[in-house]
Amino acid sequence: MSVLTAEPAAPPRPAPSRFAEWCLARWVSLGAPTVGRRVPGTMVVAVAALVVGIVAVIVTTSTGLNIAYADSQSHLTISRRLFDSKAPGFTQLGTVWLPVPSLILVPFVQNLWLWHTGLAAGLLGLVCLMGTACGVYRVAARIGLGRSGRIAGVLLIIANPSILYIYTTALTEPVLILCMMGCFAGLAHWVTSKRNLSAGEMMVFTGLPAAGATLSRYEGWVLVVGGTLVVLIASWRRKKEWRYAVKMSFAFAALPALAIAWWLAYNSAVYNNPLEFLNGQYSASNLQKATADAGLLAYTHNAGLTLWTYNWSVLETAGLLTVVLGIAGAVVVAWRWGLSNTALLVWVMGVAYGFSLLSLYLGQTHMNNDHSLPENWWNSRYALAVIPWLAVLAAAFVDSLSRVPTIGRGLLALVGLALVLQSAWWVTDPERSSVIAEADGYVQLKSASGATDAAAFLRDHYDGGQVLMDESAAGSALLPQIGIPLVDYYNRSTGELFDEAIASPATHAKWVFVSTADAPELSETGVADLVYDAVKKQPSFQTAYRVVFEEGDYRIYERIWS
């Protein structure tokens, strides 16, 4: 008789918790292949970006660093004065900057506190950060990169202090980059899709964000040119039909072209000059004319110095690791995809880099950093639009590392360690980011010039009675910092009302805020304080007003009779 004995059963594994299962599912989704329009893992990336972005917003808003840039305060002001002004209306958009960043900020600046603290821009920035991170992720996924590549690309965005800082401000870069990444993600879908997407889909998923980019910053205009070229080539390769290629190219370019046409028409209608933004009084070329005439745009027509200056800005905003991985990724993309449609998509993401170099070379842009000639901090943020491109290139390189047999995991661990070290290096001194160093410089400059105290004084002492102030004067872009409703101001944006108030301050404003800074180039470039220029010539002004604040370059007068 034989006795059958069963082997002792292995102890049952504890069932994973639902949370663990949920986490595992999210992890798996980050490496899952794309399915039609769906790119698994996008929500995970969005939430991660949101969490990091909230921390950044809290840090910069609580310290006031988010409104350090004068341009940031100007953008907040433009958005609010569309509805809060003595002369509200669409023309308050002006011509200095393209309108989309100001327009989409409008819902956020309805609340005076959100506007005053700059938190309004931070909320918009959260949306932009999520969109940018998702854009990088989706492009990486569309071109066939695995989980490690996708995650690396995203981390290089959301762990970058330059990006995180700028996205908490009202500067135009976040909106531009969001629109560009939206366009690239759409293009990536079209290029890699086995299904022939329709012209309508092309128009909605690529043309619309491209149009947003064209009305955000002028880098967007070059995006349209580059994107159209890619669509033309890829369409031809797909069907070898010119008709199809032209149709798809038109579908891509129609909305951006329309947007550009609208901008020209707007300038023509409001300023009687369709190129007012290019050659008008407040155009960038006029504002930097004095600098150019003084020979301080040293990189103009000097290719070597242009590359030196801009690349240092890229390095000091993107970080060494991002640049190194990006360059390695460029070689990988060239080797792996050559000039295929996939590669063309990646290469066209570099349009911002090419545009910036060309702009510097032609002397159209003013940029300085601590390696330029002369050394200074100025407009380093122009390098930010390059970072998503570098992130995608880096993702391609990391993906290739993950495919290396045997040591692939080790190499990935090294990249991860390098990323941690770079982040720690930044955390110990955020001013290693050139855009943050520049912001800190502005904070110190405003403090030293008296601007910070002047704004605080007016905020604390204003008890109604209207303010006469030239907020367009150099160093006087302080309206959000002051925090008084814009309807209480007579300033340049109020047009004829401003002229009337300058002619007779005492009958219009109880408070007069002036900058006494005086330099020839301020007048030449139109940023001298018009109020100060006027009142110092009016003998009656001194009898009607008394100085209640004076520090550095700033002076505040209060009308003697209330």
SS (H, E, C) 292-330: HHCCCCCCCCCHHHHHHHHHHHHHHHHCHHHHHHHHHHH
For 123, how many CA atoms within 13 A lie in the half-sphere containing its CB? 16
52, 154 Cβ separation under 8 angstroms: no
Spatial CA neighbour of 170 closest among 480, 493, 527: 480
If the CB atoms of residues 54 and 327 are measured against another protein, the closer one turns out to be 327
Structure tokens at 343: 């590669």
C-beta of 276: minimal distance to another protein in Å?
24
Name the segment binding another protein (CB under 8 A); options: 301-309, 419-427, 456-464, 484-492. Answer: 301-309
If the CB atoms of residues 273 and 291 are measured against another protein, the closer one turns out to be 291
If the CB atoms of residues 199 and 292 are measured against another protein, the closer one turns out to be 292
525, 292 Cβ separation under 8 angstroms: no
10 binds another protein (CB under 8 A): no
**What's the chain's length in residues?**
562
Q: Which of 278, 308, 324, 541 binds another protein (CB under 8 A)?
A: 308
Strand-pair partners of 549: 556
Spatial CA neighbour of 479 closest among 31, 80, 32: 80
C-beta of 514: minimal distance to another protein in Å?
19
Amino acid at 193: S
Q: Give me the numbers of helices (H) and strands (E) for the chain, helices first please.
A: 29, 5
If the CB atoms of residues 36 and 295 are measured against another protein, the closer one turns out to be 295
C-beta of 489: minimal distance to another protein in Å?
27
C-beta of 523: minimal distance to another protein in Å?
12
Spatial distance between the Cα atoms of 492 and 551, rounded to a whole number of angstroms: 23
Give residues 202-231 in contact with another protein (rule: CB under 8 A). Answer: none
If the CB atoms of residues 66 and 288 are measured against another protein, the closer one turns out to be 288
If the CB atoms of residues 219 and 553 are measured against another protein, the closer one turns out to be 553
Name the segment binding another protein (CB under 8 A); options: 82-90, 129-137, 313-321, 516-524. Answer: 516-524
Give residues 320-339 in contact with another protein (rule: CB under 8 A). Answer: 327, 330-332, 334-339
If the CB atoms of residues 503 and 519 are measured against another protein, the closer one turns out to be 519
C-beta of 211: minimal distance to another protein in Å?
31
If the CB atoms of residues 92 and 313 are measured against another protein, the closer one turns out to be 313
SS (H, E, C) 154-200: HHHHHCCHHHHHHCCCCCCHHHHHHHHHHHHHHHHHHHHCCCCCCHH
Angle at 421 between CA 319 and CA 309, to 5 degrees: 15
523 binds another protein (CB under 8 A): no
Angle at 111 between CA 171 and CA 57, to 5 degrees: 45
Give residues 265-294 in contact with another protein (rule: CB under 8 A). Answer: 290-291, 294
If the CB atoms of residues 263 and 310 are measured against another protein, the closer one turns out to be 310
If the CB atoms of residues 8 and 374 are measured against another protein, the closer one turns out to be 374
If the CB atoms of residues 159 and 396 are measured against another protein, the closer one turns out to be 396
Spatial CA neighbour of 209 closest among 76, 104, 77: 104
304 binds another protein (CB under 8 A): yes
If the CB atoms of residues 292 and 497 are measured against another protein, the closer one turns out to be 292
Radius of gyration, alpha carbons of the chain: 27
Q: Which of 11, 14, 33, 374 binds another protein (CB under 8 A)?
A: 374
If the CB atoms of residues 91 and 340 are measured against another protein, the closer one turns out to be 340
Spatial CA neighbour of 210 closest among 233, 185, 183, 231: 183
307 binds another protein (CB under 8 A): yes
Strands 489-490 and 511-515: unpaired
C-beta of 190: minimal distance to another protein in Å?
22
445 binds another protein (CB under 8 A): no
377 binds another protein (CB under 8 A): no
C-beta of 459: minimal distance to another protein in Å?
28
Name the segment binding another protein (CB under 8 A); options: 28-36, 126-134, 305-313, 430-438. Answer: 305-313
Cβ-based neighbours of 110, under 8 Å, separated by 6 or more: 83
Chain-centre distance for alpha carbon 59: 18
Q: Quick count: other Cβ atoms within 10 Å of Cβ 41?
A: 24
C-beta of 302: minimal distance to another protein in Å?
5
Name the segment binding another protein (CB under 8 A); options: 52-60, 128-136, 169-177, 369-377. Answer: 369-377
233 binds another protein (CB under 8 A): no
26 binds another protein (CB under 8 A): no
150, 140 Cβ separation under 8 angstroms: yes
86 Ramachandran zone, left/alpha/beta (phi>0; psi -120 to 50): alpha
373 binds another protein (CB under 8 A): yes
Q: Which of 12, 295, 405, 539 binds another protein (CB under 8 A)?
A: 295
Strand-pair partners of 547: 557
237 binds another protein (CB under 8 A): no
Amino acid at 540: S
If the CB atoms of residues 368 and 491 are measured against another protein, the closer one turns out to be 368
Instruction: Read off φ and ψ for residue 468, nearest 5 degrees.
Output: -105, 120
Strand-pair partners of 170: none
344 binds another protein (CB under 8 A): no
Question: Could you tell me how many residues of this chain bind another protein (CB under 8 A)?
Answer: 31
302 binds another protein (CB under 8 A): yes
277, 364 Cβ separation under 8 angstroms: no
3-state SS, residue 130: helix
Applying CB under 8 A, which residues contact another protein? 290-291, 294-296, 298-299, 302-305, 307-308, 327, 330-332, 334-339, 343, 373-376, 519-521
